[in-house]
Amino acid sequence: MTLSHALSRVLDAIDIETFFLCGSADEARKMALSLLLGLGFSDADVVSVEMNGPGARVRARTYVHRPGARYAWLAGTDGGDVA
Amino acid sequence: MILLVPLDPVHDVGLKMIKRALEEAGHDTVLLPPDMTPSEIIARAEKIRPSHILVSRTLGYQAEEVLARLADLADAAGIRERTRMIIGGMAVRPELAQELGFDAGFGPGTSPSEVVAFIEGRPAPSEQCEEVRSKKDLTAGYTYRFKDESVGKLAEELADELLLWAGERTSPAVERAEIRHAALMEGRSVGEDYLALCDEVVRAAYRTGTPPKKTRHLTSDEQRHLRTLGKRQYGASRPRSHAGLVLFVQYGTGCPFMDVAHIKAAVAWGADGVVHFDPSWGARTEGLLEGWLTHEEDGSVITPENLRAIREGLEPWVLWQVRAHRGLNTPETVVLAGHSGADLTKINIAYGSLGGGTDPERLAVDGVAAMRWAARFSMPFDIVTNEELSGVPAGKAFASMLVMAALAKKVGARPILQPLFCKSPEVMIGGYMSDNYVDFNAAKVLVLRDILDAPVWPGAPVGFLTQTEDRVQSSLTTGLHACLAGFLGADAVTIASSDEAYSGGPITAAARTDTLTAVQAAARFFGRCAITLTAEAERFRRLIYAQICDALTEAQKAPSFVQAIYDGVFGSREDGAHPGRNGRGTVRMK
Amino acid sequence: MTCIAVIGTAKNTGKTTTMSAMMNAAREMGVPYGVTSMGYDGEELDSITLLPKPRLYFREGAYVATARECLDASEAGFSNVEILPLDSALGPICVATVSKPGLVIVAGPARSRHMRLTAAALARRGSRLVLVDGALGRVSPASVVDFVVLAQGASRSRDVAQLARECSAIERLLALPVKEVFMPGRVTYRAAGRTVSLGTGSLMDEASVRALLHRLSEGCGQILVPNAVTCAALSELGTCPPGLAQGKTLVFADGIRLLVGNCAEHSWELVQRLQTLGFIVCVARAIPLLAVTANPYYPRAGADGTYREAYVDKQTLLRALREAVAVPVIDVRDESGRVLMELVHKQWER
């Protein structure tokens, strides 16, 4: 089981959620995006962010397979084993 | 006889629950005290000769050694031929059971009834899935009788008039629907007579094979993959807990593969039905396309091939709705839906005209034709009051909805009322949901039920505009809205994904499972409890009822139903409703 | 066909590395071989320590017996898949020929009887050598094999002296003299031409031994214990008065039975005591120890709860083990599986 195999089986997107200690929602957004980009994902976006008190609850997303793109999970000689 | 072995005293609650389930099923059990050594346990097993030994244990590094020793000793003692050894508990997977030498392993979350089924050699219990397995007819048992006679009289008169009016008229869509039907009956593609009634972009697509912008044909490899993908039937593994309420989700990523994968995930997570979302440009274009087409943006293109592919990907009990409630292709869409084996469609003249951009006169002609087709295919359809989202007060939207329900009855169709559970402009301006999201939504259902004996299916989706991008909030609010539909005795409900408020990208499969999980959890929480409304609900009910009566009375005074739409009786410009222009001037007398 | 089980005293003692080495050597020497396991061999990371574990790589032409789900999930390609009527936690056991090389997840039977049938199926396929990978410290299915290779390692204990003592005890237990007798289904003794059986096939606890000892006073020559025997039972046997024990033969099914569920050192100590008392301790079937492999690796738990790779001094370990046992002690990392295969060849030449 390799990283690339696991990634190829992601149906559409990966969400990363966390709580940042920060000063503003904007700061939290930037940190969440850096986190995803730092992990090697492009095509990143912040889905939700809520800032209260000491920090923000953030959910950021990267699409691994967008509708219409080539799906790594479909590739295979048997015509696509989704299970 | 089953021997139950708790190796760890703190964690044998699960084992005790299983013991109870086994005894209720008529099996003899012996529960050993904890902290017996492997040899003591096997010695006991030798004496009592159980058919199964169930061991429960949380796992840590040394625990595996004890479990392995137990399996080893059982083998050396020669008892494994007649005794099956099962291990269950935290972090147990089949691979671990295999490594430890057990015959089977159950992970956390395995219910006692599943264990009983395994021991009895049956497949896992799915009596709730049995219920789902036969498609539910949402309209069964409803008479469509107007309980409120005065409203009923008004609605039926308007319906009669509209029926007459539409009977004298036709449109390109009506004609295309006939051609399409004939072609499908004969198993061929449509010809030049069809293309003459289409827009240029559609003509070009048929003649030159160039599909419209942002769409492309699937390659034959892709088509093959899609069919293989569709053929995998998984069944519903999660039991239904929302007793009787049929749960619909929407799909339409633009890509048939993604759609089928999402549909299968949603169905596995408990969805009972799926609703097709097509691209918005479909509503503005005369003519439907053919071929295996994928679309780069939201909405999956309606073509005979795409619909067939989706149908093949549906488990047999899953209800399937293909919508025809706006745009220039409504009757033909119903024809395609019928031929493709869809169970339901969606038709609403008022919404399509006031909020969907289609010309009222055109959509009235098309809508009536669509209803006739729906009747021919014996395909129920819902009438959704989406114009509420533009600002039209619920009462006005319901007035036109009731006219259409009456009309549907007259052409032999079976309508379903679809009020919205949403935070509409009317609600926001009037402050109707300042305290709770319950009273106003409840009032809608109550007022409709008082008027007409028809199925009610809140949509679309419920909780619309109450969701934020936060997945917990949006899942919870969806779950609760769905439960509200249940409390009110609705026949079905359409729910969103937890991505509903996120516009930065396509909906993910995980977001679909989020809300399905939330609905299940909320339904489990409430069970058969009921809800008590505040006094406001009655006030709202009277308000909406008054609006219905006023609108119907106004409409009667207008020269025609269609003119009433133009005049704003069923939603005015002040409300935020604007009669559409697409298809204006395309209606002609027969 | 020769069947060899690679058993370990604990997890991570080098069983899989030894298996791989033997598979490579068998292939190089042109010996057709089949592989199975008594457990599950396939995870990339240890489920507890999260440290990487070796996996089995199969070349074309090798035979394998594994659970059906594992066939589907393996990288290698297979042909001629035969489904055996033997169930497991991961589905029925299948025998297959490797047609495309790659990593294979090997999950085989946990029960002795199933192991015998699986080895036979691999032999029918064409294996001259069948290798059975052990699991954790489990040994019971090794009762059906011809030889045992013991994988000893620091993962068992960092006390090298203890590891050596354990190896020594295991070697002795597997080298007990053989008395070829037909083993009945229950604990049985013969006295004056009559056969008497206890209600069980194993000696699991003191109580079952007391029942036996009580009847021993009636006089008997040979006691047959077909199934399991625990240290507690051996200990209780040791309370037999010397006069009574003298000259009586205690026959266990094989040396593996004396290891199942027991601490080997303790088991050997108790057997020696029985011998001192006068019992002649034998086994009905020999399952000799072929060799010992030594693995200095162990997972060390850090203060933060994670595990790291660590090693004891290899030379110290090898020296201690070599002093403790008569059979060859092999470092499978540095030496290839050839040494082991040569030992197998020697057995074939006999």
Residue pair B98/C40 in contact (Cβ under 8 Å)? The answer is yes
CB within 8 Å of B114: residues ≥ 6 apart: B106, B124, B125
Q: What is the pLDDT of residue C216?
A: 74
> Residue type at B269?
W
| Best of C40, C68, C197 to mutate (most B CBs within 10 Å, chain B) | C40
Residue pair B279/B298 in contact (Cβ under 8 Å)? The answer is yes
**Is B92 in the C-facing interface, judged by CB distances under 8 Å?**
no
Q: Is there a contact between B505 and A61 if contact means CB atoms under 8 Å apart?
A: yes
Is the pLDDT at A81 greater than 50? The verdict is no
Q: What is the pLDDT of residue B289?
A: 94
C contacts of B82 (beta carbons < 8 Å): none
Q: What is the pLDDT of residue B60?
A: 62
Is the pLDDT at B460 greater than 60? The verdict is yes
Is the pLDDT at C335 greater than 80? The verdict is no
Residue in chain B lying closest to C109 (CA): B101
| Best of B251, B471, B472, B508 to mutate (most A CBs within 10 Å, chain A) | B508
Among the partner-chain residues B254, B468, B502, the one whose CB lies closest to the CB of A67 is B254
Residue pair B273/B138 in contact (Cβ under 8 Å)? The answer is no
CB within 8 Å of C349: residues ≥ 6 apart: none
pLDDT tens for residues C232-255?
A: 999 999 998 888 888 889 999 999
Q: Which of B344, B206, B207, B348 is nearest to B288 (CA)?
A: B206
Percentage of residues of chain C with pLDDT beyond 70: 94
Cα separation, C178 vs C68, in Å, equals: 38
pLDDT tens for residues B150-194?
A: 999 999 999 999 999 999 999 999 999 999 999 998 888 899 999
Q: What is the pLDDT of residue B221?
A: 83
Q: Which of residues B544 and C198 earns the better pLDDT score? A: B544
Token pair, residue B356, equals 């969907």
Percentage of residues of chain A with pLDDT beyond 90: 59
Is the pLDDT at A82 greater than 60? The verdict is no
B contacts of C110 (beta carbons < 8 Å): 71, 75, 80, 98, 101-103
| Mean pLDDT across chain C | 90
pLDDT tens for residues B9-20?
A: 666 777 888 899
**In B379-487, which ranges are continuous DSSP H helix?**
394-410, 425-430, 439-451, 471-487
Q: What is the pLDDT of residue C200?
A: 86
Q: Is there a contact between C10 and B65 if contact means CB atoms under 8 Å apart?
A: yes
pLDDT tens for residues B283-301?
A: 899 999 999 999 988 899 9
Interface of B with C in 499-538 (CB under 8 A): none
Q: Are strands A13-21 and A55-63 parallel, antiparallel or unpaired?
A: antiparallel
pLDDT tens for residues C73-102?
A: 888 899 999 999 999 999 899 999 999 999
Is the pLDDT at B251 greater than 90? The verdict is yes
Confidence of residue B528 (pLDDT cuts 50, 70, 90): confident
CB within 8 Å of C228: residues ≥ 6 apart: B42, B73, B76, B77, B78, C201, C202, C203, C204, C257, C260, C261
Q: What is the pLDDT of residue B13?
A: 76
CB within 8 Å of C225: residues ≥ 6 apart: C187, C201, C202, C203, C250, C251, C252, C253, C257
**Is B228 in the A-facing interface, judged by CB distances under 8 Å?**
yes
**How big is the A-B interface in CB pairs under 8 Å?**
71
Q: Which stretch of B181-185, B240-244, B468-472, C174-178 has the lowest confidence by average pLDDT?
A: B240-244
Cα separation, C7 vs B84, in Å, equals: 24
- Give the mean model confidence (pLDDT) for residues B569-584: 94
Is the pLDDT at B57 greater than 80? The verdict is no
Token pair, residue C53, equals 């574990």
pLDDT tens for residues C170-183?
A: 999 999 999 999 99
Cα separation, C228 vs C258, in Å, equals: 7
pLDDT tens for residues A12-54?
A: 999 999 999 999 999 999 999 999 999 999 889 999 999 988 9
DSSP symbol at C257 = G
Q: How many CB atoms lie within 10 A of CB B90?
A: 13
Q: Which of C72, C70, C85 is nearest to C120 (CA)?
A: C85
Is the pLDDT at B200 greater than 70? The verdict is yes
| Mean pLDDT across chain B | 91
Is the pLDDT at A78 greater than 50? The verdict is no
Residue pair B75/C110 in contact (Cβ under 8 Å)? The answer is yes
Looking at the whole model, is its pTM more than 0.90? no
Tokens 């959509």 sit on residue: B363
Q: Which stretch of B237-246, B539-548, C1-10, C119-128 has the lowest confidence by average pLDDT?
A: B237-246
- Give the mean model confidence (pLDDT) for residues B556-565: 95
B contacts of A61 (beta carbons < 8 Å): 504-505, 508
Torsion of CA C196, C198, C204, C206, to 10 degrees: -90
Residue pair B494/B320 in contact (Cβ under 8 Å)? The answer is no
B contacts of A74 (beta carbons < 8 Å): 225, 229, 257
Sheet with C194-197, side-by-side order of all strands:
C194-197, C188-191, C222-225, C249-254, C280-285
How many residues are recorded in chain A?
83
B contacts of C111 (beta carbons < 8 Å): 75, 80-81
Interface of B with C in 22-51 (CB under 8 A): 38-40, 42-43, 46-47
Q: What is the pLDDT of residue B482?
A: 96
Cα separation, C57 vs C49, in Å, equals: 23
pLDDT tens for residues C205-237?
A: 888 898 888 777 656 778 999 999 999 999 999
Q: Which stretch of A27-36, B43-52, B471-480, C205-214 has the lowest confidence by average pLDDT?
A: C205-214
Main-chain dihedrals φ then ψ at residue B56, nearest 5 degrees: -120, 135
Q: Which of B311, B315, B367, B386 is nearest to B341 (CA)?
A: B311
Q: How far is CA B271 from CA B245, B286, B526, C278, in A?
A: 11, 33, 19, 74
Tokens 């005790």 sit on residue: B16
